[in-house]
Amino acid sequence: MTTQQRFAAWLAEEIAKGGYRLNRHGEQARFARDAGLNQSIVSRLLRGGAEPDIKTCRAIARVLGCKTTRVLAAAGLLPEDEVDEPSVPRPLAQRDYLAGLVGDDTAAQEAVIVLLRALGKWTS
């Protein structure tokens, strides 16, 4: 197994721990969007067809709620003994709560947003 394949397996597991269900339509795109990455980059990483750069590792770490050094080590770009954990969970955004409430149905999400805006409870 190559370093890229090991990173792909690690990334898929960590993404799942973060609440993204990669077997559902649109979840990979949602993760990419949350990380501020192009979906094609995330796709190549998950297939084991690319090695992340430092900027990509930083973006992944931010979404996963861990330190960048943890992602760099998983990608084989930093020795494991240089990783300083524990990880800090990222705060949930309004969209995370919304996805938990109505799932990935965009129309349902937008309907809830309209309602919340009317009540003055949506802040973006």
In this predicted model, what pLDDT tens digit does every residue of 14-72 receive, in sequence order? Answer: 999 988 888 888 889 999 999 999 999 999 999 999 999 999 999 999 999 998 999 99
Residue 105: which pLDDT band, with cuts at 50, 70 and 90?
confident
Please report the domains of the chain, with CATH numbers, ordered by start residue. 3-90 (1.10.260.40), 92-124 (no CATH)
User: What's residue 104's pLDDT?
Assistant: 81
Mean pLDDT across the stretch 2-8? 94
Q: Is 80 left (phi over 0), alpha (psi -120 to 50) or beta?
A: alpha
3-state secondary structure (DSSP) of residue 53: coil
